[in-house]
Amino acid sequence: MNDYLATTPFDLYELNLFHLVVKHRSFTKAAAMAGLTQSAITRQIKGMEDSLGLELLERTTRSVHATAAGEFLYQESARLLGDVGYTLQRLREDYAGARKEISVGVSRTIALSYLPGFFHANLRRTPEISCRLTHQPSGEILNALETNALDLGVLCPPRRLPRTLRTTHQFEDAFTLIAPAKGAHELGQTTPTKKALGQWVPRQNWLLIGEDSNTGQALRPWMKKQGWQVNPIMQLDNFDLIINLVSLGMGVSFVPIRALALYGQKHSIQRINLKTRFRRQLVVVVRKHRKLPPHLTRFVENVLF
């Protein structure tokens, strides 16, 4: 190990520069992020490649892409950089008096109306702690948690969580069927019969959450179980957009009941009562291997699920 460290082909600083180039696919953007000139960051990466005897990046006139070796280095070293960054952050917060910050990733399939419940109590009770929020796909949140780029994530979980992650809280999220008010009148009943629905469903334009999302992958089998085989005219990645499109008369959809809280005055939307409701699970996910710092534990406890 000592011999290796004495002749190591790059240090953590150079590795971080390499990550910036791969992430932004540009030496110019990476240099701007690092506060360097383009030529300086180019020399740093070239030095890494020469020391390794490998080409890490494929350069074109328009963009930069990682080679197979570069992609391997990028993926395998992401957790290392994340761990170092987390350790430095804890040092600054716990021993140097820096303001504590919590990084939260919220899935794009969680509507905006949920956010006050997630953050309002914390903003009131712990104003000294800042929060950095990202709204992104669940897969990206899980990857960011594994590499310590996020402290916690709120999402609809996949069938299996990565071994390095665990859930701290779980709560149920019920859905309802919504339609433009005019289109819903065709059913003629507050709670339509199965026969009436069977005739109405195939005639509608369906707007569904994307089938690549965890929620979409659970919703479609449930719909088939009800006997509804539909081909959506549009797949979207968030429910706020779906609700607005339904209100404009573009189609019908299943949405979380809580997501409608921001749209209580939209008389152009009609909820259709069903005898059976689709339900998904939402969870709070954190890294498994380490004990949560007290301020992060308090943050999760303050969330109103």
User: Which two three-digit tokens encode residue 244?
Assistant: 């607005």
Q: Label residue 284 by pLDDT band (50, 70, 90).
A: very high
pLDDT in tens, 290-303: 778 888 888 888 88
Taking the C-alpha atoms of residue 296 and residue 205, their distance in angstroms, rounded to an integer, is 44
Q: Candidates 1.10.3720.10, 3.40.640.10, 3.40.190.10, 3.60.15.10; correct CATH number of 99-171+282-302?
A: 3.40.190.10
What pLDDT is recorded for position 161?
92
In this prediction, residues 195-221 reach a mean pLDDT of 93
Taking the C-alpha atoms of residue 168 and residue 282, their distance in angstroms, rounded to an integer, is 11
What pLDDT is recorded for position 188?
61
What pLDDT is recorded for position 71?
92
Residue ranges, comma separated, of all CATH 3.40.190.10 domains in the chain are 99-171+282-302, 172-280
Written out in words, the top-level CATH class of the domain with range 2-80 is mainly alpha
In this prediction, residues 263-272 reach a mean pLDDT of 79
State the pTM of this model: 0.80
What pLDDT is recorded for position 3?
58
Question: Which residue carries 């790059």 as its tokens?
Answer: 10
**Radius of gyration, alpha carbons of the chain:** 24
Phi, psi (rounded to 5 degrees) for 152: -155, 155
Residue ranges, comma separated, of all CATH 1.10.10.10 domains in the chain are 2-80
What does the mean pLDDT of the chain come to? 88
Cα atoms in the Cβ-side hemisphere of radius 13 Å centred on 269: 25
In this prediction, residues 83-107 reach a mean pLDDT of 86
- 172-280: which CATH topology? D-Maltodextrin-Binding Protein; domain 2 (3.40.190)
Q: Label residue 195 by pLDDT band (50, 70, 90).
A: confident
